[in-house]
Chain A
């Protein structure tokens, strides 16, 4: 801007300058980029003026001072676009999917840049919340490693960018060829996609190219559950929807329905609603979890049975058998269901009794990892408990992907049946089972085209790679598990030369259309293109949900229980799991999923909810197994499973069943981005088709090497300190204020204060008039927090929290403003896990404030513990004196190397911190200020309860975090703090944290005590 003054005197010579050859050569020198594009006759008016302005400024500087200053273009809103106020973000409803799971989101757009994802409150499966994947997806949009242009394989050089138009030509020729021969020799490899338009385009491809072969491969699609419908003679297959808010007794069979499986966001909300305790007299649901290793669901369980995954089906069999005998009814399988309930101790009779006693409100959830017959058995148990149960419904039909498997594709390719293969999304070369043979077969296919976000392993093996549009830059639609269709609209034009999946399918089918037209065509057809379609369409886009379209809600499926007896798995006993034949469990990673988010720095650095590992997967084993085998953390062992061998580092995780190993998929990537490099090992190399999620017969070697794993929490015991306070429901009823008994100083009057009490800002709280300023506070209900990590990523996105990398995590320098502390308690061989979210506690008598020599951290009149980054000199004294260790220091300039594209993600309301500065949770002060600005404009400046929500609270699927004005006795946070379970940490220090916790309550079955 200062250049302009120097430039002014040259205004008169503008035209002269502009026309002179000297100007052009100067321009070329200074702006090689722009110069490439400038042909003075053919330049747009705006671009011309832009260049002119900059050049004149430059000329001014050059001539006046001979000082080169960077010239940065500004774009004044001389004509402000409609609906855009600079500085005021707008929100657009859209949706994303991971496999068949649909997340309805509101994307926040700052001057055209999507910067933050929130849950869409109108969306039936997000209910206003979003999980970590959805939160982190915005970073994926700006990933500089995303493919940006079509690439082709060039001999030994590997993938190289294709010439402009080169792919289009080659692809056009191929499409013409397919059209001629009906798609002979063409194969499409698909992954699960719940989009109606996608399905429609696929139908078009089928119609237009009837001889094309379709294959399906998706590592995250819960096909076992869908196949269970086939086993029971239900066609078409159905989606299963759990109504957890209606369930009082829930039995989870190796399921992570609160974390990774199905509509986990909706599940978590409904589960929490059945668990939230206002008064101690209220009731809460009871969750039994049967699982081999801790999931967030297992950590929430009231009673948890730790058994190998192979025994979970056996457990369910015993439950079914017990149910038959209790009801005195006949066994529809004809006595095929037999199980040894004795191996589970008191569990089976106790659980069955509880389920049967609450049969109207009982629910059995079978996990995605379990084979189809266990799901079928689950349907049966739910049916036996209550045929008309409201806790489970099957509302939507899902077309079964009657397509060939990856193994079949490999066989067909080797047989020479496939001349051309188009891989639509996914990364089959990486995610393939070890026995699929696809890697070799893939090479034999003459023409392979890979469509995806990254030039990943599959792209590297393909002849062509074409970049895919991110969901935030593509038109689309999706269908939720309950059948609700939702819209997907772009917030930004594609950053690169990309096509969306439907656009590619349309081209394969021989047409060429924009995603926008394709999606509209689908819904015009579905609605019969009524006269008011345009209004409907606008409404849908606005809401993010497609409404007013008649759809059939399917009734109860007609299960044919007699077929159950014929299922082979049912008659077999459980696999032997012992020291000589260990069980291996593969799980979708809570951070990087099947590997699709592996290049997302936020997710790589997000500690696993249970292990707290970052940047790696590990061979997770229980402490007993580790002791027996003499293994310790960081030991690299060789795993041998079905003759496939892979090496991985050991990490000891309490709560892992004996002789079982849990390994997360999605790591050990070889191509497709720099972030994921050297992160973990590839567990897909051990998987085999059939039942790919667990199996016994794993052999583990002794330690052969060491590899350092980076965990953010090294110590899992609370050391007897009353940090997470927990009781049983009965205990709570006997002593509603039991939390106070756990204080070190039980009589608060014995704490002598150095300060004026109550804090002067709080004077008059709760009385007429109240304090002069609103007083912010937070209450976190540990009873419903699942530890799903959504808050951590939401905070990272909202507050421009940098990613530091594995090396820095190993040094203990992760920057998360809210961390989730995980502690284990109870018996070492069968522990319980608790999670405690830890944002800044915003102490009233803050120890950090008094020690800062430069007053960079100070108290605001609203009770916030403010950080003035400009003032901070970085002594780190505040962090040392913080009893909660929530302050984060920029040891390096972690924000140094962002590309221009990455910078677009940053929240403009939050400073990006330089190195040497301390930072921490601010209760999202920028949101408070925005709310205040609105309140001042529209009212008396008093922010109404609920008008401001920090990022963590907003995205919390269980609404565990309540935020508001604690001086207002009617606010939700004040009511939460009035709960008898409310307590603050380290009360004996008299620091008076504004963040308080509501004690965790478990509701265990007394018979299992």
Chain B
């Protein structure tokens, strides 16, 4: 008779002979079941709920169109900006969206290099989110300029004036950083998509579908050579993306850190911004995937374990951000710079105290709740806290930008900023763009990396000695499996153990 521990050990040996860990994907699905589960939303009939979601998102997107049209026609004055506060919601939104993007790159690049297998369930959606967030982000620096029609002056294009952009300006570094980031993210994401697109192509029934997905999968056959190239390219792109995770938000923070304004001119900004970006990015990934996994019945692929991991990262990065908040106050006091001391007092107790304390509560207090296992394994709790983190991180950027600007050196220029309806609509509209893109993503692109998820199944291991799972592509058993595993704790996937034990 084996002891309970020995039995577990034996089961782990059987299910994952190398890592000897509990399987990441629950319900012991077959390879085919994975394909079926992930392709179902793309191939099946469009669900009425998707249509509802899509139309809501698209309506909000049309608000963005209207708001931008009004903006371009009439000028930046439609926003609440004023003389001391030259940037407010526009750049807040930009930094907010760029920050959100960071989670995707971190998951697909850094976690890849660190061989974090759990990333395979979430990297596709997270990367898609990155791209959509960068799209939303790029809107704001693009349209917030006074003369949108000459915004291309920021690019180093050959011109009759022999005029270069000003390479001393952090804003220009920003243009390069964000564009590189966007480009690499798109390439990385698309490259990762190719095998899956080929899967869709191969399964496609209609002619049009075959042509489109055939075109998109650029002749992928799944040959060993293809796979070898694919692996190499992934590695290279992961290597390229890894520094970008750190550099983009570092450079975004330079917009502020290299200025002379108290409250902006701060050396802690680069790490603080990167931590904040990862923080907000994971919050957004969690927000989205908690809904998606439920809606698309893929809770066995994106499991509580994934959510818990993300919650842990949020706690870490949230604590880093909280540390930075406190350190800013210390440095302001320690520097003896009266302007610096004033600006931080003003942040916490000035006219924008409510923004500061909203930020502080959401970003510093709320992620600490994840110390409780019950909360970090509860999708509802994670969902709520992640929303708070998103709100808090938006306010962080607003606090940095607006409260530093509204009261700087000369008290004669001090002025209060309040947004107009157009500030609000433009920001809301950017969510329309984001969610519309995300709706299209869910409908037309495999939302989970099929090939990659399969590679973390126990049976993908060459040393797998157990019985191949039975092929039952219907969704119901998976849901049951998840429910059962949740009852027993997710370290011990009960069904898998029981089934293999019986064998």
Contacts and interface: CB of A to CB of B under 8 A. Distances in A.
Q: Is the A/B pair a real complex?
A: yes
Contacts of B170: 851
Contacts of B151: 873
A917 interface: yes
A871 B337 CA distance: 36
Interface in B330-361: 337-339, 342
A889 B169 contact: no
A889 B412 contact: no
Nearest to B404: A880
Interface in B219-268: 255, 258-261
Contacts of A852: 166, 169, 171
A808 interface: yes
Interface in A867-898: 871-877, 879-881, 883-885, 888-893
B164 interface: yes
Interface stretch (B20-28, B47-55, B142-150, B441-449): B142-150
User: Interface on chain B toward A: helix, strand, loop, or mixed SS?
Assistant: loop
Given A812-B82, A852-B166, A891-B81, A874 B410 contact: no
B171 A851 contact: yes
A986 interface: yes
A67 B171 CA distance: 42
Interface stretch (B69-77, B271-279, B291-299, B314-322): B69-77
A248 interface: no
A891 B422 CA distance: 14
Contacts of B410: 721, 723, 821, 838, 883-885, 985
A875 B171 contact: yes
Given A853-B171, A881-B259, A881-B260, A891 B166 contact: no
A796 B35 CA distance: 71
Interface in B86-143: 86-87, 141
Interface in A668-727: 713-721, 723
B456 interface: no
Contacts of A918: 146
A876 B414 contact: no
Contacts of B407: 715
B408 interface: yes
A808 B83 CA distance: 10
A846 to B, nearest CB: 10
A991 interface: yes
B380 interface: no
Contact of B76 (A884, A885, A916, A989): A916
Given A811-B80, A891-B75, A916 B259 contact: no
B325 interface: no
A915 B412 contact: no
Contact of A915 (B146, B153, B259, B339): B146
A836 to B, nearest CB: 8
A889 B84 CA distance: 10
B146 A889 contact: yes
A855 interface: yes
B362 interface: no
B408 A720 contact: no
Given A854-B165, A873-B147, A877-B169, A889 B411 contact: no
Interface string A797-814: 000000000001001111
B175 interface: yes
A989 B147 contact: no
A814 B83 contact: yes
Contact of A875 (B75, B144, B163, B258): B144
Contacts of B147: 872-874, 914-917
A652 to B, nearest CB: 17
Given A850-B168, A879-B83, A986 B409 contact: yes
A854 B342 contact: no
Contacts of B455: none
Contact of A808 (B77, B154, B171, B414): B77
Interface residues of A, number: 57
A744 interface: yes
A92 interface: no
A499 interface: no
A872 B169 CA distance: 14
Contacts of A451: none
Contacts of A720: 338
B34 interface: no
Contacts of B164: 855
A880 B86 contact: yes
A286 interface: no
A494 interface: no
Contacts of B215: none
B412 to A, nearest CB: 4
B144 A989 contact: no
B415 interface: yes
A376 B379 CA distance: 88
Nearest to A851: B169
A823 to B, nearest CB: 7
A850 B167 CA distance: 9
A873 B145 contact: yes
B412 A713 contact: yes
A412 B339 CA distance: 68
B260 A812 contact: no
A872 B259 contact: no
A861 interface: no
A881 B86 CA distance: 10
A276 interface: no
Interface in A802-852: 808, 811-814, 819, 821-823, 836, 838, 847, 850-852
Contacts of B84: 812, 885
B68 to A, nearest CB: 15
A893 B75 contact: yes
A850 B409 contact: no
B413 interface: yes
A890 B87 CA distance: 14
Nearest to A885: B413
Interface string B395-426: 00000000001011111111110000000000
Given A851-B171, A888-B83, A873 B77 contact: no
Contact of A876 (B87, B172, B261, B413): B87
B80 to A, nearest CB: 7
Contacts of B414: 714-715
A874 B338 contact: no
A838 B126 CA distance: 51
Nearest to A815: B83
Contacts of A893: 75
A916 B260 contact: no
B86 A879 contact: yes
Nearest to A880: B86
Contact of B175 (A819, A823, A847, A853): A853
Given A719-B342, A812-B415, A838-B410, A880 B146 contact: no
Given A852-B166, A855-B166, A873 B82 contact: no
Contacts of B255: 877
B145 A875 contact: yes
Contacts of B146: 872-876, 889-891, 915-918
A874 B163 contact: no
Q: List the 3 shortest-distance A-B pairs measured between CB atoms, nearest first.
A: A874-B146, A916-B146, A812-B82
17 contacts: A715-B414, A813-B82, A821-B410, A850-B258, A853-B154, A855-B163, A873-B146, A877-B255, A880-B259, A885-B83, A885-B84, A889-B81, A890-B75, A890-B146, A915-B75, A916-B148, A918-B146
Interface of A: 713-721, 723, 744, 808, 811-814, 819, 821-823, 836, 838, 847, 850-855, 871-877, 879-881, 883-885, 888-893, 914-918, 985-986, 989, 991
Interface of B: 74-77, 80-87, 141, 144-148, 150-151, 153-154, 163-166, 168-172, 175, 255, 258-261, 337-339, 342, 405, 407-416
Given A852-B171, A885-B84, A891-B146, 11 more contacts: A812-B83, A847-B260, A855-B165, A855-B166, A873-B154, A876-B86, A876-B87, A885-B413, A890-B146, A892-B74, A916-B146
